[in-house]
Amino acid sequence: MGIIQRQALRNSLINFIGAGFGGLTRLIMPLVTRNNTELGLLSILDSVSGIFVAVLGLGYHQVLLKIFPKYRNPENGHYGFFVLGIFFSFLGITISFLVFILFGDQLLRVETDITLFQRFSFLIFPMIFFRIIFLNVDSYVRMLYQTFIGVFLETFLSKVVIAASIGLYVLLWIDFEQFVYLYAFSFCIPGFVVLIFAFFKTEKITLPSKELFVPAERKKIYEYALFGMLMGASTSIVLYIDQLMLGKMLSLEDVGVYSILFFAARFILIPSTGINRIAQVILAEAWLRNDKETIEDVYTKSCVNQLLIAAFLLGVGWTLLDPVFSLHYKFAAFADNKELFLILGIGVLVEMSTGANSAVISTSKHYKYGMYFTVVLAILAIVLNYFLIKEYQLVGAAVATTLAMTAVNILRWILLYKAYGLQPFNFNFLKAVILSVGFLLMCYFVDYNASPFLKISLNLLAGTIIFWGLVVGLHLSEDVNKWLLKMKNKFF
């Protein structure tokens, strides 16, 4: 668990710093853009390119997880897996280019605000190009235990570029059109940089070894790639379908409002991203050794730790919404829809409290079930969004996402329990649940008169001291207590 703690902590730290930039830019965007329709345009560019990338990465991530540990060998260039990843990437890029030529008009149509969207829709292809490169090459780099560079590029550097672009736009040094170009560029730069990083980190660049193409191995690669594609497609649908359907069924303005609160709720997932990046690599190696003790340890600890982190961020985040949204009249639309943050946040809380279940399944012999569950999740998300958006608009989209996430996590838990006897929900987890529920109720009802900046400071400080003080006092997380003791010894 040592390597998971070290890299997850470092990844989470840079994630939070990057998310700070990202959160600041998201907060400023409604102030600098002329209306929420322009916000919706930026979200749609991200969503459409994101769905293409997840599918047209061609499942290379899954191929790495299942096959790479067997061929790990720096001296011979890991049997050419780096070049194999480049091949997968350019094949996916070529397919995306052909899809754009043949079906672009139909795929990129929105029902409202179509002129604004069509003006910038050509940016989606370069975004897809570099995001596919990043997805596959970063997956390869992570298998070399280099998880930090991808986190730095995706969650920090790209956010800094967006923040700088906003600064240039506010100073009137660029117009809105140039700002959109820079926004698209921020999604491209991580792919370019990680490609260079991987080139220098691979001790020997070789073509894929012929051992990878013997009939038995070739069959595995095709199989893992297919399942990886289906999982990627389903995952991207879950992540982006609510915003895409809002754009088609309502308007880009509604997407703009929803996207800000959606981002705020997804902020809670940041520590989980850092943990799962390295946990996948550790779990893949553990399954290869049939080391069930390590697998169970990773799974159990991830549930408790992520539940506590999610409860803290959701509770404190809720107490900050009102004072933050009261800072400017342009935040009125977000204040009127603040319940979206709570609904989406509950879905994230469920996702995190079930720990690294997805990583455990994707690296096991039952990896196909991970794809099946993700397909179920995607279908649920589409069906629920369609009916609930029609009936309840933005709230319906948030409820649909949360219900779908909850259902699929129940299925994952059942599979791991039935197939491997893995049961992470022990008495310590129950204590963490009770503390989390109590803390969330306290945060929901807390209210007092004070200036916005004072309320932000007090709520953040008091929530941190109360929650983590109880976590330490009740010994709910061995990792948290060890880390705090380490910090105490280091500084005192």
Nearest to 44 by CA among 351, 250, 324: 250
Nearest-angstrom CA–CA distance, 332 and 435: 33
Please give the share of the chain, as a percent, with pLDDT higher than 70.
85
Predicted confidence at residue 203, as pLDDT, reads: 77
Predicted confidence at residue 1, as pLDDT, reads: 47
Give residue 142's pLDDT band: very low, low, confident or very high (50, 70, 90): confident
Give residue 153's pLDDT band: very low, low, confident or very high (50, 70, 90): confident
Predicted confidence at residue 199, as pLDDT, reads: 87
Task: Check if the beta carbon of residue 302 is closer than 8 Å to that of residue 409.
Answer: no
Q: Among 14-18, 273-277, 288-292, name the one with the lowest average pLDDT.
A: 14-18
With a threshold of 0.75, does the pTM exceed it? no
Distances (CA, A) of 343 to 30, 199, 347, 395: 22, 43, 7, 8
Q: How many domains does the chain have?
A: 1
Predicted confidence at residue 60, as pLDDT, reads: 84
pLDDT in tens, 182-221: 988 988 999 899 999 988 888 788 888 888 888 888 888 8
Query: Is a pLDDT exceeding 90 seen at residue 344?
Result: yes
Predicted confidence at residue 432, as pLDDT, reads: 92
Task: Check if the beta carbon of residue 85 is closer than 8 Å to that of residue 25.
Answer: no
Residues 6+ apart with CB under 8 A from 147: 7, 11, 141, 274, 277, 278, 281
Distances (CA, A) of 338 to 116, 245, 279, 319, 398: 27, 20, 33, 11, 11
Give residue 248's pLDDT band: very low, low, confident or very high (50, 70, 90): confident
Task: Check if the beta carbon of residue 204 is closer than 8 Å to that of residue 341.
Answer: no
Task: Check if the beta carbon of residue 266 is closer than 8 Å to that of residue 401.
Answer: no
Domain that holds residue 368: 2-491
Query: Is a pLDDT exceeding 70 seen at residue 15?
Result: no
Report the mean per-residue pLDDT for the chain.
81
* Average pLDDT over every residue of 60-86: 79
Query: Is a pLDDT exceeding 80 seen at residue 3?
Result: no
Query: Is a pLDDT exceeding 70 seen at residue 292?
Result: yes
Task: Check if the beta carbon of residue 452 is closer than 8 Å to that of residue 416.
Answer: no
Predicted confidence at residue 443, as pLDDT, reads: 93
19 CB-side CA count, 13 A: 20
Predicted confidence at residue 328, as pLDDT, reads: 78
Determine the angle formed by the axes of helices 339-353 and 292-325, rounding to 10 degrees. 170
Nearest to 239 by CA among 46, 3, 469: 46
* Average pLDDT over every residue of 427-455: 91
Give residue 428's pLDDT band: very low, low, confident or very high (50, 70, 90): confident
Predicted confidence at residue 107, as pLDDT, reads: 56
What's the per-residue H, E or C state across the chain? CHHHHHHHHHHHHHHHHHHHHHHHHHHHHHHHCCCHHHHHHHHHHHHHHHHHHHHHCCCHHHHHHHHHHHHCCHHHHHHHHHHHHHHHHHHHHHHHHHHHHHHHHHHCCCCCCHHHHHHHHHHHHHHHHHHHHHHHHHHHHHHCCCCHHHHHHHHHHHHHHHHHHHHHHHCCCCCHHHHHHHHHHHHHHHHHHHHHHHHHHCCCCCCCCHHHHCHHHHHHHHHHHHHHHHHHHHHHHHHHHHHHHHHHHCCHHHHHHHHHHHHHHHHHHHHHHHHHHHHHHHHHHHHHHCCHHHHHHHHHHHHHHHHHHHHHHHHHHHHHHHHHHCCCHHHHHHHCCCHHHHHHHHHHHHHHHCCCHHHHHHCCCCHHHHHHHHHHHHHHHHHHHHHHHHHHHHHHHHHHHHHHHHHHHHHHHHHHHHHHCCCCCCHHHHHHHHHHHHHHHHHHHCCCCCCHHHHHHHHHHHHHHHHHHHHHHCCCCHHHHHHHHHHHHHHC
* Average pLDDT over every residue of 432-451: 92
Query: Is a pLDDT exceeding 60 seen at residue 364?
Result: yes
pLDDT in tens, 373-419: 877 878 888 889 889 988 888 899 999 989 988 888 898 899 999 88
